[in-house]
Amino acid sequence: MNIQMLGTGSAFAKDFYNNNALIYASGQTLMVDCGITAPAALHALGKRPDEVDALLITHIHGDHVGGLEEFAFRMKFQYHKKPVLYVAESLLEPLWENTLKGGLAQEPWYTLEDYFTLRLMKENVQYTLAPDLSFEIMQTPHIPHKASYSLYINEHLFYSADMRFNPQLLHRLVEERGCDAILHDCQFIAPGAVHACLDELLTLPAEMQQRIWLMHYADNQPEFKGKTGAMRFMEQHRVYSEAELATSSTQAG
């Protein structure tokens, strides 16, 4: 299993694409979130939408779902395909009614199922897309009273969606479930409001930091190279192997 970040930028970054990812396993490609810049990021990589076999949505902010309308239209009318869409049951109605219906609904297509083959997800249930790729969703704190889900991939890799600092969860994943790689969103401005901030993440013990790869960062990310303790930065468009992400390092990002 390999991961390639379509983008590593925060919602308002302009030098980096939205924090979305491509996961490759056993000849299948899963896109994790499809933000406003996802179509442009795919184009920059020389990839077509029909090379994506399935999508998974973590929550319904624009930098995570803003590219879905274009993706759906192109798959339906340009490539004549109906991709698989993994979405938590709690997100299904707001994703269609509040985000996509205004653009996608037209005669005779009036439902999300007209554009996607839906795979509804429950928390803490393992789903398998390919022999080398399984995942589960877990609700993690972001915006109060709005559902947002992070991923646990292949029983050892945690991929945060937008998430407030939650050291208890990280410790549980490492100590109880053997998590050896954490891809974590990070803002540089403190205090963290709806994201973990770098100052908070730097309070984690070194052995925890060694497992963390930072993503979802602002355009001034170059100013923080060498200032992230034992944590490293994810780089957009670089392909990381599963083994590489799980390899501990004491080098700063």
Alpha-carbon separation of residue 39 from 47, 49, 237 (angstroms): 9, 8, 14
Q: What gap in Å lies between CA 50 and CA 243, rounded to an integer?
A: 28
2-122+134-245 falls under which CATH superfamily? Ribonuclease Z/Hydroxyacylglutathione hydrolase-like (3.60.15.10)
Note the pLDDT of residue 63: 97
pTM: 0.95
What ranges do the domains of the chain cover?
2-122+134-245
Query: Residue 253: pLDDT above 50?
Result: no
User: In the predicted model, what is the mean pLDDT of the chain?
Assistant: 96
Q: Which residues pair with 232 in a beta bridge?
A: 213
Which residues contact residue 131 at a Cβ distance below 8 angstroms, ignoring those fewer than 6 apart?
Answer: 25, 26
Strands 181-185 and 212-215: parallel
Q: CA angle at residue 59 from 55 to 62, to 5 degrees?
A: 90
Query: Residue 62: pLDDT above 60?
Result: yes
DSSP letters for 113-158: GGT-EEEEE-BT--EEEETTEEEEEEE--SSTTS--EEEEETTTEE
| pLDDT tens profile 15-48 | 999 999 999 999 999 999 999 999 999 999 999 9
| pLDDT tens profile 87-146 | 999 999 999 999 999 999 999 999 999 999 999 999 999 999 999 999 999 999 999 989
Query: Residue 249: pLDDT above 80?
Result: no
Query: Residue 193: pLDDT above 90?
Result: no
